A and B are shown apart, each in its own frame.
Chain A
Amino acid sequence: MGEILNLAFQTFRAHKMRSFLTTLGIIIGVTTVIAILSLIEGLNQSVAKQIRSIGSDLIFVTKFSMVRMGPTNFEEIAERPDLTPEDALAIKQLSSVETAIPTIEQNFAKLKYRDKEVAQTSIEGSSEDFSKAYNYIVEIGRDLNFDDILYKRNVGVIGSYVAKNLFGDESPIGKDLNIGAHRIKIIGVYKEKGSFLGQSMDNLIVIPYTFYDKTFPRRRATVFEKAFGGYTISVVPKPKMVERAMDEIRELMRRRRGLRLDEPDNFELGTQQMLFELYQNITRVGFVAIVAIAVISLIVGGIGIMNIMLVSVAERTREIGIRKAVGASNQNILLQFLTESSVLALVGGIIGIILGVLLALLISIVSPLKAAVSLWMIILGFGFSAAVGIFFGMYPARKAASLNPIEALRYE
């Protein structure tokens, strides 16, 4: 087997340009599929976080629109004033509003306790009503309270995932954990919520926004950091009052910002429902695109491989004759050419995977979309290209295997 693989790589090296061109179809296919999949996965992660509280009719007040598709002027959004905790307090006073909380967050943080750590944790800087807005229930210890916010205490309530992974059977209450150089005392643990869209909702720590503000400097270097960093306000309307609450919030915010009648809003309002619909549209389009690209690149890449393998079989007819004359069985020859087409496809697949991951990272850097690459996509990319190699390599390989040795030796 090692021998056959070695041989396949030799042929690959002998015809670098030709092999590369052949695999182009597969490279393009795998690249786009991986990039789109990781963007959808990234979208899942952020949407799941927003829709953390299934069932409640949250309204979001943000700087940027979470639901508008199409071209966006990020410079304009970056120039808008930030939302503030004071805005949240004012919104909370509205008659149609149950409560409103300011939230500032940081994803992908690493928490440490002694020698243990958890990663990919969200740090939420929020107020004492966080659990009410997002339907978390404190299971052990206590929730954040008004004094924690007022005195900017370094305390936090953690999700059950964090509790389990950092503390195991120990009680986390009263223990200090570390975020980078900062220590935070744990005062409570939320009851497990499970996962949504494949994302755990229990991998978080909620701390007073006042402490967050003091402790974690905000990066405001790029337009995107200006547009998307900072506070968002999550509003819980009174029952059956979503529409009225939206109107009241809009009016209040315009008044607070002194906007004239002819000026447009310089903030955005969205609901969980709108967000979810948008999410569904995007993922639907994404999956249709993936299937289409997968099918097209399968055919293009596969035919390319079949073609080049047929050429290879014809070129090496004498070689096949010689190998058969010295004792290669039909199966040996079949395997040799199948391995060759699979190696061809797999090399294309690997290049595609690398390019796809890079493309996803690039999109993450230059746009607000976040990409998340996971292992199953890479496995999928491998499987996909191997399948193409085997499927489309089968016909040429059989042709090679069934050659009559004498006729093959006579071939010129």
Chain B
Amino acid sequence: MLCLAKDIYKIYTMGKVEVEALRGVSLEIEANEYISIMGPSGSGKSTLMHILGCLDTPTRGEYYFEGKKVSDYTDAELARIRNRYIGFVFQNFNLLPRLSALENVALPLIYAGVKKKERLELAEMMLKKVGLAERMRHRPNELSGGECQRVAIARALVNNPKIIFADEPTGNLDTKTGSEIMEIFDRLHSEGRTIVLVTHDSNIAQHAKRVIRLIDGKIVE
């Protein structure tokens, strides 16, 4: 089992107000699953995804990644896990504005200790895979939303991760570009990767083999 969440709470305290973003979420994800997490805005989808991706920690409850409790990993180990096992596609892309598409895609490889030449070769390969080879010298502000999304996907893939988390990967895109992006995810799944898709669009969620619904920080069936 890849991910195991047991009764997870995430509580944000802002002054005197407490916001319970997650209220007792339990979830298992097996290798090679294709899951989508659905729910209205503010239901805690992104929060859950960040915790599942070892980017954030739960306030209460236990989360196991690859069989080990995340709170038992050191910072350096967590960084390694994020680098080698996990690929993120963020809701708002999160590309570095001063780097070209190619350099953005190559970024995770720096922290994997890959040599520069090899880094750029791998990054170029990934950009080809998402159909963006001819725009690889451009910076994010010279690219369209769909193109940025492809760069973000290529970056998530470049380290050959076990699991890919994508937060509203089609949220900012028109239907046509959206379905092109979804084709990429479908292909990645058929190649044997685990995919977790966050969305509030049921058409998108249909691509997944299992759909989890989140309302007010709780899973409903």
Contacts and interface: CB of A to CB of B under 8 A. Distances in A.
Interface string B41-62: 0000000001000011000000
B76 A325 contact: no
A405 B155 CA distance: 17
A330 B110 contact: no
A329 B90 contact: no
A329 B80 contact: yes
Interface in A317-337: 318-319, 321-332
Nearest to B158: A326
B76 A330 contact: yes
B75 interface: yes
B116 A327 contact: no
A326 B55 contact: no
Given A329-B76, A329-B80, A3 B94 contact: no
B88 A327 contact: no
B116 A322 contact: no
Contacts of B100: none
B111 A326 contact: yes
A14 B96 CA distance: 14
B116 A329 contact: no
Contacts of B95: 322
B194 interface: no
Contacts of B112: 327
Nearest to A319: B96
A318 B94 contact: yes
A410 to B, nearest CB: 10
Q: Main secondary structure on chain B at its contact with chain A?
A: helix
Nearest to A405: B55
A17 B82 CA distance: 37
B217 interface: no
Contacts of B55: 324-325, 405-406
Contact of A330 (B56, B79, B107, B108): B79
B189 interface: no
Nearest to B156: A326
A3 B88 contact: no
Contact of B84 (A319, A327, A329): A327
Nearest to B51: A406
A253 interface: no
Interface core residue of B76, B79, B90 (most chain A CB under 10 Å): B79
B209 interface: no
A409 B93 CA distance: 11
Given A405-B55, A406-B50, A326 B107 contact: yes
Given A3-B110, A325-B55, A405-B55, A330 B75 contact: yes
Contacts of B159: 327
Interface in A345-404: 404
Given A326-B108, A326-B155, A3 B79 contact: no
Given A3-B116, A327-B111, A329-B76, 20 more contacts: A14-B98, A322-B94, A322-B107, A324-B55, A324-B82, A325-B82, A326-B155, A327-B79, A327-B83, A327-B112, A329-B79, A329-B80, A330-B75, A330-B76, A330-B79, A332-B111, A405-B56, A406-B50, A406-B55, A409-B90
7 contacts: A322-B96, A324-B79, A327-B79, A329-B111, A330-B75, A406-B56, A409-B90
